[in-house]
Structure 1
Amino acid sequence: MAMRRAPPLLFPAAAKHTATVIFIHGLGDTGYGWASAVENWRRRQRLDEIKFILPHAPRISVTAAGGMPMPGWYDIFALSGKIDDIKRHQDESGILQSREYFNGLIQAEIDSGIPPNRIVIGGFSQGAAMSLITGLTAKVKFAGIVALSGYLPLDAKIDDLLKENDHNRQTPILMCHGDEDQVVPTNLGKMSYESLKNRGFDVTMKIYPGMPHSACIEELDEVESFLRARLPPQDDKKTEL
């Protein structure tokens, strides 16, 4: 039985659409939770050619919340803030199912004429985890990957997954994390960063002092700069027939 999903929240490009950003929210949130961030990124009118897609997670039963249904990309078994609890119990089937959903969104953009090297996938928390696992194992090469307050899921199986598709080893990856994060421990984010760095990925990590499991304006500005660098405006070259 197919999972019921609401259509994503869309921010059409303000100018000619030449690039797309898919940004994935965290557990218990919806795409609307990141609408203000998109408006912030667009305020200087430097990202006018980018369409933003903010997907909404389906409601699932979350074990860590006593089985209570809430928007989630995969089940979470513990919210203790302990690294071992996060790494020990991972909802592989849920993660891979969500990965297929995002692959579908990506393919739809490619089918509409946006090349993969003009697509960035990113997210926050659980969405950051999904942006990493989807981006690193995709069948296409992206312009960039953004992971805010997240970690690399299925880390014990990442090498096997990369054997299937490994097109983004040179794709710039921006990871950001607050050093006061009690939900996704800062050290887990650092461990994921080191794991990717050791595998030869082009990954950068920014740590924000005093920031808990949230975002700050400095971090959002960093993401805006990353998007501008990875998805610069394209000249409108007219070909005479």
Structure 2
Amino acid sequence: MSKLGALHLTKHTGVKHTATVIFFHGSGSSGGDIMEWPYTPAGGQMSNVWFDRAYITPDVPEKLNSIASIETEVKNLIRKENEAGIPSNRIIVGGFSMGGTLSFHTGYRWDRNLAGVFVFSSFLNKNSIVYEDLKKSPGGNLPPLLQIHGNSDDLVYLEWGQATFDNIKELGVSGEFHIMEKLGHSLNKRGMNLIKSFIEKHLPEQ
């Protein structure tokens, strides 16, 4: 297993670095630094995933030991940004599918001082520890949420995403839920433009 690290996609242009966006990809994708786990939904085969889960459905318990392992890595990643002069309120986290689920844990459990959270085609389990943590320590300034989901998604169903949004909103998170017409389990340009606008709104230039 490798340690998480930043993957810089642009060269330094001389402009001062004042904010950071961390994007967590979906299961099976790849990145410069990524955890490799035996993944239960893939028959126990090794796969590029952030944590293990019993099945891709909200009806099963979360594998909390696996999630706790990636928690340390994510916190270290944010800490490195903080040490480089980027406070948490100048950091947005987001992701696609499993990466979006990880973003829920990051923004509403591990660092609630973040500037925002965005998720695309993602969900939380029905009795998620994210909900439990929000119930235990309600109130405060929680990061705003942008959630996007395709209505033709046949892997992570729209109703799972909608239920997640409804639950997390009831627990004090403010945000927006956008449905993408005729979109399956994938990203699209309209959704990415919504994310771009969300980032520009919550990470204004300094």
CA contact (8 A) 1:57 1:72 kept: yes
CA contact (8 A) 2:61 2:127 kept: no
Distance in 2, Cα, partners of 1:22 & 1:6 = 11
CA contact (8 A) 2:3 2:73 kept: no
Confirm whether residue 30 of structure 1 aligns to residue 26 of structure 2. no
Distance in 2, Cα, partners of 1:189 & 1:86 = 10
- 1:155-234 superposed matches below 5 A: 155-162=127-134, 169-234=141-206
Distance in 2, Cα, partners of 1:213 & 1:129 = 14
Confirm whether residue 124 of structure 1 aligns to residue 96 of structure 2. yes
Greater Rg by CA: 1
User: % of aligned pairs identical?
Assistant: 30
1:104-147 Cα shifts (integer Å, max 9, x gaps): 11111111111111100111100000001111012451111011
- How many residues matched? 204
CA contact (8 A) 2:107 2:143 kept: no
* Contiguous gaps of at least 5 residues in structure 2: none
Paired residue for 2:39, among 62, 86, 108? 62
TM-score by length of 1: 0.77
Confirm whether residue 109 of structure 1 aligns to residue 81 of structure 2. yes
Confirm whether residue 11 of structure 1 aligns to residue 9 of structure 2. yes
CA contact (8 A) 2:4 2:73 kept: no
Question: Secondary structure, in 3 states, of the residue corresponding to 2:86?
Answer: coil
CA contact (8 A) 2:40 2:53 kept: yes
Q: Structure 1 residues 125 and 173 mapped into 2: Cα distance closer, same or farther (>3 Å)?
A: same
Question: What letter corresponds to residue 71 of structure 1 in structure 2?
Answer: N
Question: What letter corresponds to residue 20 of structure 1 in structure 2?
Answer: T
20-29 or 92-101, which deviates more? 92-101
Paired residue for 1:136, among 81, 86, 108? 108
* Contiguous gaps of at least 5 residues in structure 1: 32-54, 80-84, 235-241
Query: How far did residue 172 of structure 1 move?
Result: 1.2
Distance in 2, Cα, partners of 1:157 & 1:9 = 29
Query: How far did residue 148 of structure 1 move?
Result: 0.8
Confirm whether residue 72 of structure 1 aligns to residue 44 of structure 2. no
Question: What letter corresponds to residue 228 of structure 1 in structure 2?
Answer: E
Q: Structure 1 residues 22 and 162 mapped into 2: Cα distance closer, same or farther (>3 Å)?
A: same
Alignment RMSD: 2.2
Distance in 1, Cα, partners of 2:83 & 2:153 = 39
Query: How far did residue 6 of structure 1 move?
Result: 5.9
TM-score by length of 2: 0.89
CA contact (8 A) 2:4 2:74 kept: no
Distance in 2, Cα, partners of 1:155 & 1:5 = 29
